[in-house]
Every structure is written in C-alpha cells, then in structure tokens.
Amino acid sequence: MLLNRYWDLQLSAGELHNLAAQLGSDVAFCLQGGTQLCFGRGERLEAIAAVAKPAVLLIKNPNVSVSTPWAYGLCKERLGSGYLSSEADFERQRQALRQSPLLAWLKAEQPPLPPLRNDLQQVVAPENESVQKGLALLASVGDPLQVAMSGSGPSLFALYSDQPAAAAAQSTLAPALAENGFEHWICQFTAERHG
C-alpha cells in the first residue's frame, strides 16, 4: 500500500489483493484491517460490523519459533481424520461460522465471550514449553475474556474488555514476562478498514 502511494502506481484494490495473495496467507487482511472473517488461506474476506472492541495483550518470545509447516503437519497427523474434504463441507463450515456465538458476541458484545478454538494450539502447546508458559501467565492475571495462541504460534494473546484492563494485566505480568523472555504489546480491535 505504501509503495502504491509513494510511487503513484494507482493499483486498484483488486490488484493489491492479487499481489497480497501471492505474498502469503492472511496478507489480504493486512490490506483491509477491521474485523473480518477470513476463509481459504486468509485471502477471502468478509467484513463484520462488530460492536465489541476488546483490547489485546499480545506476547511473543523472539527467541522461540514454531515452523508453520511442522505445526500443520502435526495437526494433520493428529487431527487429519476430521479434516473437511468437499466444497459443500467447507461451505457448511463457513455458514456455521457466520452464525456462530463468537460472531453474535462481536456484533452485540453480550457476555460471556464464547470459547475460542485454534486446532494448531492443541498440537503445538504440548510440544512447546514457551507456549505453555505464556498461556499460563496470560491466564493467571486480570480475568481475561479468553487466552489463546495466534495461528501456529508462538505468539499468544489475552483478550480484555477494554484497554485499561489489558494495561493493568500487562503491568502486573511485566516482570514475569521479562523473566521468561516475552516481549509484550497492547492493541485494540478496531472497526477501521483500509484500502
């Protein structure tokens, strides 16, 4: 987006999205921002008119990495029997997500926030001590709405109802996070969309 503006390339949103899909999974989301359902490899987006704007405490140990191909391979090995195989199955799953309790919560912010699910967390966390420790630390302070691993890890997050709650948890956790090698940031859900 920056180079498009800087060099005055005048690439359309569609052209930028095609380039984003070639760069990698989920890159299209970075062009759009806001609150989105992401399908396919993350290149197919559906905007959500979200009311809920939780704050996020994000942590990551920069000295720990997780190979995405390894994580997906392990997930396929352990959970592959439940993988969807037909387009009809995928469409049923997309429809279920569009009507899920999580989406209802995002649209109306009615407590409690339903549990989050990351199949990769199920297989990565037991194999990665840093992920286990980070999840435990995040869950230990400030009554987070949810704690989970992002993608294939090792980035982790806790959701809070607002930024002051996230900041209080971050302040309390800062010594333990530093002791365990975690860097940390607070960010906020936003309705803002780019492009």
Give yes or no for residue 193 having a pLDDT over 60: no
Look at residue 109 and tell me whether its pLDDT is greater than 70.
Answer: no
Report pLDDT for 192. Answer: 59
Architecture of domain 49-188: 2-Layer Sandwich (3.30)
Pair of tokens at residue 162: 């607002």
Return the domain boundaries, the chain. Answer: 1-47, 49-188
Q: Are 37 and 125 in contact (CB under 8 A)?
A: no
CA distance 47 to 42: 13
Strands (E), 40-161: 44-47, 55-60, 146-149, 156-160
pLDDT of residue 191: 63
Give the closest residue to 160 by CA, choosing from 173, 170, 150. Answer: 170
Higher pLDDT, 190 or 163: 163
Tell which wins on pLDDT, 64 or 14: 64
Write out pLDDT tens, residues 133-187: 999 999 999 889 999 999 889 999 999 989 999 999 999 999 999 999 999 999 9
Q: State residue 194's pLDDT score.
A: 53
Give residue 181's pLDDT: 97
Confidence of residue 111 (pLDDT cuts 50, 70, 90): low
pLDDT per residue over 28-39, tens digit each?
888 887 888 888
